[in-house]
Structure 1
Amino acid sequence: MKMKKCKRRSFGCVLRTFALAAAVVTLNYFKAGAQDGNAGIQQANTQVRSYFESGTSLMYAIGAILGLIGAVKVYSKWNAGDQDTSKVAAAWFGSCIFLVVVATIIKSFFGL
């Protein structure tokens, strides 16, 4: 592509010069930002890993609370003589087991 010679102070010349300057500044900015990318990724990795211990403990606590709520609901259905007590018990027990298994897998997967 052949570039036309710019006449001094023409709009096209000023526009091309501005576009070239903007491109150079942008490339320099991205080059400087890329150098800090690895440090930023490492810092994010460290912060996220520090939350896993608290997150798994929170999941165990939620599982315990759901277990207690489920036990009360199943007990009340059982005392009322409902026929679907086993379905409700299986659902609540399954949800508690799921939370405990997910928390355990997260803990073992990330080596905590």
Structure 2
Amino acid sequence: MKQCNRTSWAKALKTCALAAILASISFIASAQDGNAGIQQANTQVRSYFESGTNLMYAIGAILGLIGAVKVYSKWNAGDQDTSKVAAAWFGSCIFLVVVATIIKSFFGL
């Protein structure tokens, strides 16, 4: 029984060593192309950035419309917390627009 455990342990150790060697060879081969990969990722992120900021503006506009309808309905119903709800919705819309604008100016796009 002990012989079987030692044999399987040795096989597992050899397999792990082989996997580590293959991984290090793969890492060394791909490390030479690291700058090209980083440049490609930078290009891809920048290509989606304009669409992402436009999406944030659109979400802000939709939230503004939904918030306006909710505030109007609360105002007509005579609720006491209308100003709090209006501030929350207005603040969320302003936050999205300001974040999109600041990120856009921060990255210089």
- TM norm. shorter chain > 0.5: yes
Look at both structures and tell me which one has the larger radius of gyration over its CA atoms: 1
CA distances 1:40-82 after superposition (whole Å, capped 9, x unpaired): 0110011011111000000000000000000000000000000
Corresponding residue number in structure 1 for 2:91: 94
| Aligned with 2:78 (options 56, 81, 85) | 81
Q: 1:40 to 1:91 in 2, by over 3 A?
A: same
Q: Could you state the TM-score of these two structures normalised by the residue count of structure 1?
A: 0.75
Q: 1:40 to 1:79 in 2, by over 3 A?
A: same
Once superposed, what is the RMSD of the aligned Cα atoms?
A: 2.2
Indicate whether 1:109 and 2:106 are aligned: yes
Indicate whether 1:38 and 2:30 are aligned: no
| Amino acid aligned to 2:57 | Y
The number of residues matched between the two structures is 95
- Which structure 1 segments of 5+ residues have no match? 1-14
State, as a whole percentage, how many aligned pairs show the same letter: 89
Q: Quick check: which one's helix share is greater?
A: 2
> How is 1:18-29 mapped onto 2 (pairs within 5 angstroms)?
23=21, 27-29=24-26
| Amino acid aligned to 2:93 | C
Q: Could you state the TM-score of these two structures normalised by the residue count of structure 2?
A: 0.77
